[in-house]
Structure 1
Amino acid sequence: MLQKTKINSFVALGDFLSQFSLDSNHRKQGVLNNDTFFDSFEALLELSQSHNGWFTKEQVYFAVNSWAEALTENNLNEWLLNYNFSKVTPKKVGLILAGNIPLVGFHDFLSVLIAGHTVLVKTSSNDQHLIKFFANYLISVDKDLEERITFTDGKLENFDAVIATGSNNTARYFEYYFKNKPSIIRKNRNSVAILTGNETQEDLVNLGEDIFRYFGLGCRNVSKIFVPKGYNFDSFFNAIFAYQDVIHYEKYANNYDYNKAVFLMSNFKLLDNGFLTLKEDSSYSSPISSVFYEFYEDLEILRNRLKNEGDQIQCIVSNHLIDNSIAFGQTQKPKLWDYADNVDTLKFLNSIL
């Protein structure tokens, strides 16, 4: 397939997705294969929460809208500008996808196809419907893709390379099982924010987006904040009050009640506003409905620590306090070139012999 043809296929998917929003869905003129796919996608969006209780309508529409914004001709061209796939020999690349947030594995799926390879996909049982719909739509736009896309419910077999995402425990299994294949093996990571006390109200409201989007289930969600010694949390709690409705969602509320009870029974000191607990803790991975915090005295020492522990961190949020940090409220809006774990997926796919 020519590169331009592949780009056009994904642009068509982006156009299709741009018709759907939480407020209303509107058919647009000129969208390819709308008669076949519009109604069925609308129905799938309505059913998403029945497939996975965490995939509420709001969260699924957010993921769909994010991909609609990403899959434009300008974005795809900018992403691919520094790569040359003319010498790629097509290989079969296996994908083992996570299912913690909607469409979390679609970037790998897109990357394999855009690089000129064939994709063999093992979806998570928690997120298997949306990506299959995307695949069917792409095939309807370009029939050549039908031979390049395969889904499997069993174990991966007869593949040349693999990209696998899982927990730290499953990563050990992946590393052993795929030791003789070119691979990218992704493990647990978490995201952090660095505050100084000089943040605006808007900054802190936006930080709430980084914390609560997808109920905090993604590796790009902020699960820990670093604050200066003596930091007053009043401004933080006032700002995130805008997200109080999260407690009305039963699955989140159950996690809040359970994790709070565990903390209290262990005599941990907590800060609590009725829908989020803050716990002083040196680790990065906090449970759902809780954010860890840690005090710092020297910003340069903190910078060095985060650099040394970079293999545990996905994103760092701050007001330009550290190189390559992300602005408040932007962690769940990655660009196509913002690679998971900072591993260049296209470079890897271009190197498979």
Structure 2
Amino acid sequence: MISRIKRINAFITLGKFITDTTNEELIADWIDAAKSKNNWFTRGNVAMSLRAIATLYLNEEQLTAWAARYPEPASSQKIGVVMAGNIPAVGFHDALSVLISGHTLLVKPSSDDEMLIRALLNALTNIEPDFKKYIHFVERLNASDAYIATGSDNTARYFHYYFAKKPNIIRKNRTSVAVLTGNESTAELKGLGKDIFQYYGLGCRNVSKIYVPDGYDFTKLYESVEDMSGDYLNHHKYFNNYEYNKSIFLVNRVPHFDNGFLLITESKSLVSAISVLHYEKYVSLREVEALIAEDEDKIQCVVGIDEVNIPGILAPGSAQQPGLSDYADSVDTMAFLSAL
């Protein structure tokens, strides 16, 4: 097993490699390769994701402190990881967790995000060649001793069936919500706009539904996000979704608000279509707290201002900035890996 300090130092060096301006041309090649495979992966979004990995995950102080919280496993195991591909490099945290723990990574990347994951792990092995025998891209995960799999609710049923005999973490669909009071500043509503729109709303940390007080006026929210329109009106896949959903609303006479690139409609459903934001009215914040508690296993994070007293609530604009300990589905991946 590679020593823990060598593992940590390799990842710290990878973080510095990503942000080193002398590597800009190579990183640009990564970004172009990712975009060529997935039209949702715009250059701006891929660059933003890589920057977040370098600064939020591979920061020396934070990475060292995070790894130190967990004991070394009794022995190195083969961990099969089925990665999602909804946003750029979304599976990197699982790869990092497996390798920092001292285990062998058997990775099955999503076809939507294979280029970035390969580029990052290839760069890691260039930095620390000893990692080569601990990283394997595979089509089948039969040789795994344990599994981490991320997918839809449907694929989760498949994962439960095939992976049930070995230790596993299986993640399903999740989404995020925001609780508004009407007292939000323009800056806070702009931050909420980022939580809604970043990565075109495709991430589990994207806000797809807002809870608003009865009689809420959406004008200020729309005015606060108006300057974001260019990024979405000019992206053909997003705009096609917007026009399709708008036509469905009009044909079916579904009441909705529309600012030309975001449709807002009342619905009890947590998950909304691309370009659509759901809202639900409330009378008291206690009512919202109860609704969120009921759907706890379907919600990744909750966004709101300080007066919304919900444990773990995130400030508007920070939903897409998870730290190392912000585990998907609130399942501690590192604790799982260290106990194997």
Structure 1 length normalisation: TM-score?
0.93
Separation in 2, partners of 1:145, 1:317: 38
Q: Is the 8 A contact 1:111 1:345 kept in 2?
A: yes
Give the one of 238, 250, 253 matched to 1:252.
Answer: 238
Please tell me whether residue 125 in structure 1 is matched to residue 131 in structure 2: no
Higher relative contact order (CA 8 A, sep 6+): 2
Superposition deviation, residue 262 in structure 1: 1.5
For the 8 Å contact 1:205–1:242, the answer to whether it is kept is no
The structure 1 residue matched to 2:283, chosen from 278, 297, 303, is 297
State the match for 1:79 in structure 2: 66
CA contact (8 A) 2:33 2:115 kept: no
Q: Which residue of 2 aligns with 1:157?
A: 142
Instruction: Find the aligned partners of 1:279 and 1:78 in 2 and give their Cα distance.
Output: 44
**Contact 1:88–1:116 (Cα < 8 Å) also in 2:** no
CA shift digits 1:327-351 (9 cap, x unpaired): 1001111001110010000011112
Query: What is the CA-CA distance between 1:155 and the residue it aligns to?
Result: 2.4
The offset of 1:128, in angstroms, is 0.1
What does the per-residue CA deviation read over 1:136-191, in whole Å, with 9 as the maximum and x for residues that have no partner?
11111111100000001x22221100000000001001111111011111100010
Letter in 2 for 1:232: D
Seq. identity, %: 45
Q: Does 1:41 align with 2:27?
A: yes
**CA contact 2:189–2:316 (8 Å) conserved in 1:** yes
The match for 1:265 is 251
| TM-superposed deviation, 1:134 | 1.0
Partner of 1:7: 8
What amino acid is the match of 2:76?
A: P
Q: Please report how far the alpha carbon of residue 283 of structure 1 lies from its aligned counterpart in structure 2 after TM superposition.
A: 0.6
- Which residue in the other structure is 2:172 paired with? 187
* SS of structure 2 residue aligned to 1:93: strand
CA displacement at 1:199 relative to structure 2: 0.4
Map of 1:321-336 to 2, 5 A cutoff?
A: 321=308, 322-336=310-324
Deviation at 1:249, TM superposition (A): 0.8
1:67 shift after superposition? 0.9
Q: Encode CA deviations 1:48-107: one digit per residue, 9 max, x unaligned.
A: 22111000000000001101102111010222232111x431000000000010000000
1:197 partnered with 2:185: no
* Amino acid paired to 1:163: I
Aligned pair partner of 1:94 in 75, 80, 90 = 80
Asked if 2 retains the 8 angstrom alpha-carbon contact of 1:276 and 1:291, the reply is yes
Calculate the aligned-residue CA RMSD, in Å: 1.1
Is 1:223–1:286's contact at 8 Å kept on the other side of the alignment?
Answer: yes
**Distance in 1 between residues matched to 2:256 and 2:28, nearest whole Å:** 42
Displacement, 1:39?
A: 4.1
Q: Give the CA deviation at 1:260.
A: 1.3
Residue 221 of structure 2: aligned partner: 236
Q: Is the contact made by 1:219 and 1:314 (CA closer than 8 Å) also made in structure 2?
A: yes
Partner Cα separation in structure 1 for residue 279 and residue 171 of structure 2: 25
Match of 2:157 in 1: 172
Alignment: residue pair count? 335
| Moved beyond 4 Å, runs of 4+ | none
Tell me, which stretches of 5 or more residues in structure 2 are unaligned?
Answer: none
Question: What's the CA shift for 1:308?
Answer: 2.2
- The normalised TM-score by structure 2 is 0.96
Is the Cα–Cα contact under 8 Å of residues 49 and 56 in structure 1 kept in the other structure? yes
Provide the rounded CA distance (Å) in 1 between the counterparts of 2:249 and 2:159: 33
| More displaced stretch, 342-351 vs 258-267 | 258-267
Q: Could you say what secondary structure the match of 1:338 adopts?
A: coil
User: Which residues of structure 1 form unaligned runs of 5+?
Assistant: 20-25, 28-33
Contact 2:303 2:315 in 1 (8 A): yes
What is the rounded CA distance, in whole Å, between the counterparts of 1:59 and 1:208 in structure 2? 15
Q: Deviations over 1:269-292 (max 9, x none)?
A: 010000000010001000000100
Secondary structure of the residue aligned to 2:49 is helix
- Give the equivalent residue in structure 1 for 2:121: 135
